[in-house]
Amino acid sequence: MSLCCYSAAAGRGVVLLGRRHWLRHPLLNLRTTTTVASSSSAAAAAAASISSLSPPQQRQVAVYVDTLLEWNQRMNLTAVTDEAEVMTRHVADSLAVLPPLERAYRARSVSSVGDVDGVRLIDVGSGAGLPGLILAVARPSWKFTLLESMRKRCTFLEHAVEVMKLPNVDVVCDRAENVGQSIDFRERYDIVAARAVAELKVLAEYCLPLVRIGGLFIAAKGHDPHEEIRKAECAVQKLGACMLELSNVESLGPHGKRTAVIYIKEHATPKKYPRLPGTPSKMPL
């Protein structure tokens, strides 16, 4: 199997796009191009979540936002075209999963000292780098892998990693079904995360083969995912995991609160999973 991998540490030349990348500092002065009555409060809340980052981290986020909007003009990365909306619907939304994720990891997956340095996290179906790139900014001591199957999106991710100067991020361009069967990736990650990728019963087969025993799988879902969770129970059990917790996540997007669905991997995933590319979505467990 051929994997296309990229590491920021490889040191390829940085190609900056035309807009200013260094910035709006601090990132609290968000400019808006199209607004509605509630957008100012949403932007303020987003700014508050970003303010927990250091000034260099805020600059990295500013670089990401500029790069995303620039590249989005020539490829489909996001339906959001307003900077303030990117901050509320993508950046702040990604940061919002950190508290429940870290709480669950400390409680069930690490030693008694609660050390979370060096966590290995893979973002499955990373797309525009969400939540992976934003989490990589917030947690520089962690090691991140962005898994994306579309070559064009991988090209964007590689460029974003360069211009954001993220030495803790690798990009892997391949399907989750292939990567899940590779000895280089299978059951190697402490945390597997996914946001807006697929229904849980399909997503579980993409993600759980990558989680180490004792590690976590976290899926960002809507405000009421209970039916989706019920339908995924059989698949999750077959793949070696069980439900750990549901955590309400404050979202500044148009649909309000969301839910972080967190599973813990209890035993090894049977070797036959994941199945061949395309099978999980066509014939869910």
pLDDT tens column, 232-250: 999 999 999 999 999 888 6
Is residue 204 a contact partner of residue 240, using CB atoms and an 8 Å limit? no
Highest mean pLDDT among 13-27, 78-92, 138-152: 138-152
Classify burial at 278, counting beta carbons within 10 Å of its beta carbon; exposed 0-12, middle 13-18, buried 19 or more: exposed
172 beta partners: 5, 147
CATH of 22-282, one of 3.50.50.60, 3.40.50.150, 3.40.50.300, 3.30.70.580: 3.40.50.150
Average pLDDT over residues 124-133: 96
262 beta partners: 218, 245
Q: What pTM, to 2 d.p., does this model score?
A: 0.84
CA distance 270 to 178: 15
User: Which one has a higher pLDDT value, 41 or 173?
Assistant: 173
145 beta partners: 122, 170
Average pLDDT over residues 78-95: 88
> pLDDT at residue 48 above 70?
no
> pLDDT at residue 206 above 80?
yes
Digit-coded pLDDT (tens) for 142-190: 999 999 999 999 999 999 999 999 999 999 999 999 999 999 999 999 9
Q: Select from 178, 212, 172 the least CA-distant residue to 192.
A: 212
